[in-house]
Structure formats: structure tokens, C-alpha cells
Amino acid sequence: INLTGVFLGMKYTIPYMLESGGGSIINTSSISGLVGYPPGMPAYTASKGAVIQLSRTAALEYARQNIRVNAICPGVIRTGMSDRFIERGNESLGMGGSEERRKALEALEPMGRMGTAEEIARLALFLASDESSFCTGAPFIADGGFVAV
């Protein structure tokens, strides 16, 4: 789903963008597509890394047709998915109760907190706007400094 969904979205959207003179495609990857991640997640990390490479390749293929393609790579973001992880946990990471899991996730981030969906949405708005007109083929990292460590 992570890679095939992105591929199919671009496959069926790009022809319309070509007809209309261009546009901006913003794919969702993850920091796990850039760095190693805990055990038990090889398919997830491989698919997110592939989204970055697919975005770069499409950016090169369509740059002269005024289609920009970028990928957002979020870190730990407070969403329904992270809330489910906090509630259920992950034995491979050795985390105990819900409060312990929440604190462990926050501790992964140098900023000491999880990001918000609104912060990722603001990055997407920037990438969709003319303010980012010279940005294409890039993974945009929004992770509170995790990858910098």
C-alpha cells in the first residue's frame, strides 16, 4: 500500500497535470525511509525508502513539464496510528504501559515532543505553493531533529 498507492496516484494524476501545464505532487514517506529502524519493520522501511526514490525519479522525468515531485518524511507525529501504537505497544522495542510508550516516543525526538498533523500540513501547503517553485526531487524532513542525531 505504501509504495503502490503512491505509484498509482502519480500514474493517474500526471497525465492531467501535463494537460493543465504542471503542478506539484507531494508524496508521503517517513524518516524510516532514510535511516535504519527498529526490528520487525523491514517492509515498512523499504516501502518508505522506495517512495523517496520514486519521487526523485519522477521529479527528474517531469521537471521540464513544470511538474514538481517531492516527499515529506515525517518523524513521530501524533496521529491515530501513533495513538494505537501507544495503546498496544511494541514488544520488540521493550516498552511497557501506555504512559511509558508515549514518553519513549517523545524521547526519540530531540525537541522532546511528537510533531502534529498540522505541522505536516503546513509543510505540504508550502510544497504546493509557488513559494517552493524551485523545489523538486527532495525528501523534506519534518522530524524534530531525529535524523540530525
Residue 124 to residue 115: CA distance in whole angstroms? 14
Partners of 77 in the β-ladder: 115
* Separation between Cα atoms, residue 124 and residue 28, nearest integer Å: 10
What are the start-end ranges of the E strands in 5-144?
23-28, 67-74, 77-78, 115-116, 139-142
Catalytic residues: 44
CA distances from 4 to 9, 14, 51, 92, 140 (A): 8, 15, 9, 27, 20
